[in-house]
Structure 1
Amino acid sequence: MLSALDIARRLDAGTLSVDALYDEIAATVADREAEIEAFVSVDIEAARAAAHSTYGPFAGMPIGVKDNIDTGDRITAYGSPIHAQNRPAVDAAIVALARRAGACLLGKTVTTEFAFFSPGPTRNPHNFDHTPGGSSSGSAAGVAAGFFPLALGTQTGGSVVRPAAFCGIAGFKPSFGRLPTVGVKIFSWSLDTVGVFAKGIADVAFAAGVLADRDWRVDGEVPTPPRLGFVEPQPWAQADDEMSVALERVRRAADRAGAATASVSLPPVFREAFAAHQTIQDYEATRALAAEVDLAPDKLSAVLRQTLDEGAAISATAYDDAQRTAEQARRAFSDILSKVDVLVTPSAPGAAPIGLASTGSSVFNRVWTLMGAPAANVPGLQSFAGLPLGVQTVGAYAADRRTLKAAHWLEECLRAQASDS
């Protein structure tokens, strides 16, 4: 895998040339893309040409952009045949900001249909028989495969944290609203959040901080032991046996490394909030995709049509009630996070499921997305079969750097544990 921080430093110092970087990427894509299928479209030479005349913290950096995010120089189809020839007039705001900082668009990456359930063809680089997760399938798989050091994705339920976990990389979903969604194909305006994928936590902290114009970097400092709240089993989200054992291993390692750990029970309102997520998402999706439903319903997948039909049956009263429940849960969440730096939970129920018909379950992510909370997948764990396992740090709203610092500390802790074993 390519490290964004390492590439930025080496390009800046002149110890790595643009052409050497893009030659390496071209060879990797030629060798692996036919089996992984991370890209909807890719133009390495256009990115190389742009890289020779860029400036800023990302100068020359190749990136992948999820295909539900508009790009003015590439078709953006949103994972749907309805938009197969859609060429936006301009970049989404997040893409424009990335280019301003010197990033060069290598390719558009596979998304599920409208960033919902129906998967694309992308395979997990660690085992082609397994899903890479979704909906940001190509962005996560492309980083893991070494196609690009940075990628943009989105999360409405678990579409950044979960595929990062399945692909064994870092994925960071900032606090709601910290990165602009202007020019992103909206599925749920109360939930959709732009996120970043990279090799490790220091890389996503660097990249997300540049895009948000905030000091979120965690490299160059000695991580200090955080206060970690380990969430007790959630009635709506059950980890498999292997993940449960791994989480307990993480807690023991954190204890030994000096962290203050505590068990955290979520109040009953969180059970209601978990259900409220779907009410809010489906009600908004029905309206966000009104034009597609009216103009080309036959080009929507069966699972999306069913979801939109169910969303159309949700009353405004039920939607308003769900929003009130979410606000109650956010107040309770704020109280919980006043006692610990971050919560620690599985990023997914286990390792990436076998098969490509599903991208896996987001049950460990949805409620945190509803909270608008920053969340980071921490890589470094493996299943017995050699597939990545991920745990996430979840922080208080607007405490993005604290969340990333805790994730960085935990990543270093897991790395030390692996070297000792």
Structure 2
Amino acid sequence: MLSLLDLCARIDSGRLTPEGAVGLVREAIAAREPEIGALVCVDPAPAIPTTGPLAGIAVGIKDIIDTADLPTAMGSPIYAGWRPRADAPVVARLKSLGAVPLAKTTTTPFAFLDPTATRNPHHPGHTPGGSSAGSAAAVAAGMLPLALGTQTGGSIIRPAAFCGVVGVKPSFRLLPTVGVKCYSWALDTLGLFAASVPDAAHALALLADRPAIAAHADAGALRIGIVRQDFCAAPDPEAEAALARAARAAERAGARVRDYALPARFGEAFAAHAAIQDYEVRQSLAWEYATHRDALPPRLRAALDAAQGIETAAYDAARRTAHHARRGLKEVFSEDGLDAILTYAAPGAAPAGLDQTGDSRFNRLWTLMGVPCVTLPVDRTSAGLPVGVQVITRFGDDGRALAAAGLIERALRD
């Protein structure tokens, strides 16, 4: 994989020019893209700044994020060839840092469940996950050092686990979702994919203009709770093995690790996620449903059909349940003495076949809670498929989440 920090260091030292760095990415795309299918389009002649902390760093932009220089098709024929007049603020921020938004990466249509044609770089017969399929796959294949994604259920954490890269779903609204096609305004969260935890921390610190996120390298004597989310169906054995391996690595690195069972209110909140998401998508995709229903893919069309019957009272009750659980999560971290939670990133390795994107059951609660989550690759199956874990900290403590993930990453490497 391409390391963002390595490229930056080579550019800063004069061993590589920004143009040369983009050239390396183009070579990697030419070599891997035909078999992976992670990209919608590539800018043939982008502006390449020579100054800025990310000068020469090529970035993939999920194709529900507005770009003025490239089409934004939402993964749907309804928007084929559509060109926004302006960049989304996160894209404008990347450009101000010197980065090059080089390619649009594939997304499931409107970031729901109907799969893309993108293949898992570790096994072409397996899904890369979704909905941020192209972003995860492109970083995993070494085609891009950084890519943007979004998460409403598990669309960053799960594909990062399936593809064996670091994925970061930051605290809710840490990065602006203006200029991003809305699915659920209470849940949609903008995040990123990178080759390593330090790469991801560096990128997030710059994007959010919060240097402390990357400076929080020393995790200290962390108190980590192992959470198995008993309100969900059990994971595959390889996910359980990866969780145990990550826990042992954390202990070797000096963390205090213990099993922790979430109170019942979190199971109730997990169940509330669907009502919030589906009620809101009924409104956010109202025009597409009213005028282009037959052009919508089958899973999304069926979800929108069902969403028409959700009553406002059920939505409001789900929001109250989520609010109470968020308040309760503060107590988990403060009164129950946890600095971080370690749990499954996905039920197991990427499933076989390209007709699905996998199950987000171990992600949805944490998206609803709005807390920072980091996918960390931990293991491989006998077939070579990656298996990851998920590190979670309290709202606004994104630096600690990355520091904890970095501590485990180093322990696994050593």
1:24 aligned residue: 24
Determine if the alignment matches structure 1 residue 404 to structure 2 residue 402.
yes
Aligned-partner residue type, residue 350 of structure 2: A
- For residues 159 and 295 of structure 1, the distance between their equivalents in structure 2, rounded to whole angstroms, comes to 27
Mapped partners of 1:227, 1:11: distance in 2: 38
Q: Is the 8 A contact 2:170 2:371 kept in 1?
A: yes
Match of 2:346 among 348, 359, 363: 348
| 1:14-413 to 2 correspondences below 5 Å | 14-43=14-43, 45-47=44-46, 50-51=47-48, 53-218=49-214, 221=217, 223-338=219-334, 339-413=337-411
How many residues align? The count is 412
Q: Is the 8 A contact 2:229 2:262 kept in 1?
A: no
**Given the superposition, is the C-alpha separation of residues 279 and 220 from structure 1 closer, same or farther in structure 2, using an over 3 Å criterion?**
closer
- Give the secondary structure class of the aligned counterpart of 1:296: helix
Structure 1 residues 184, 9: CA separation in 2 closer, same or farther (over 3 Å shift)? same
- Give the direction of change, closer, same or farther, for the CA distance of 1:281–1:377 in structure 2 (3 Å limit): same
Q: 1:70–1:240: structure 2 CA closer, same or farther, 3 Å change rule?
A: same
Structure 1 position 31, deviation (Å): 1.4
Q: Which residue of 1 aligns with 2:8?
A: 8
Q: Write the distance in 1 (CA, Å) between the matches of 2:405 and 2:361.
A: 20
Superposed displacement of residue 257, structure 1:
2.8
Question: TM-score of the superposition, structure 2-length normalised?
Answer: 0.97
What CA RMSD, in Å, does the superposition of the two structures yield over aligned residues?
1.4
Partner SS for 1:105 = strand
- Contact 2:219-2:400 within 8 A present in 1 as well: no
- SS, match of residue 405 in structure 1: helix
Q: Measure, in 1, the Cα distance between the counterparts of 2:105 and 2:239.
A: 29
Partner Cα separation in structure 1 for residue 16 and residue 238 of structure 2: 41
Describe the superposition over 1:103-160 as per-residue Cα deviations: whole angstroms up to 9, x where unpaired. 1011100000100001111101111111111100000100111111010110000111
Distance in 2 of aligned mates of 1:397 and 1:269 = 18
* Corresponding letter in the other structure for 1:27: E
Question: Using the alignment, how far apart are the partners of 1:376 and 1:220 within structure 2?
Answer: 15
CA deviation string 1:168-223 (max 9, x = no partner):
11110110010000000000000000001100111111111111111244479555
Paired with 2:203 and 2:212, the residues of 1 have a C-alpha distance of: 9
Q: How many angstroms apart in 1 are the aligned matches of 2:366 and 2:268?
A: 13
Asked whether the 8 Å contact 1:230–1:264 carries over to 2, the reply is yes
Distance across 2 between alignment mates of 1:223 and 1:271: 29
Residue 384 of structure 1: CA displacement?
A: 2.5
The answer as to whether partners of 1:216 and 1:404 remain within 8 angstroms in 2 is no
| Deviation readout 1:347-379 (Å, 9 max, x if unpaired) | 000011111101111111000000000000012
| TM-fit CA distance, 1:12 | 1.6
Indicate conservation of the 8 Å contact 1:238/1:349, yes or no: yes
Gaps of 5+ in 2: none
Q: Deviations over 1:78-121 (max 9, x none)?
A: 01111112110101111111111111011100000100001111
Q: How far is the alpha carbon of 1:56 from its aligned partner?
A: 1.6
8 Å CA contact 2:216–2:400 kept in 1: the answer is: no
CA distance in 2, matches of 1:221, 1:271: 33
CA contact (8 A) 1:140 1:164 kept: yes
**1:419 counterpart residue number:** none
What is the CA–CA distance in structure 1 between the aligned matches of 2:268 and 2:127, rounded to whole Å?
Answer: 30
Following TM superposition, the consecutive aligned residue runs of length 4 or more in structure 1 with deviations greater than 6 angstroms are none
Q: Distance in 1 between matches of 2:371 and 2:218?
A: 25
Displacement of 1:385 after TM fit? 2.0
**Gaps in structure 1 of 5+ consecutive residues:** 417-421
| CA pair 408-129 structure 1, distance change in 2 beyond 3 A | same
**TM-score (normalizing by structure 1):** 0.95
Instruction: For 2:54 and 2:378, locate their aligned partners in 1 and report how far apart those are by CA, in whole Å.
Output: 26
Superposed CA deviations along residues 217-272 of structure 1, whole A, max 9, x for unmatched, are 44795553421110034221421012112212222232233210111111111111
One-letter amino acid matched to 2:357: T
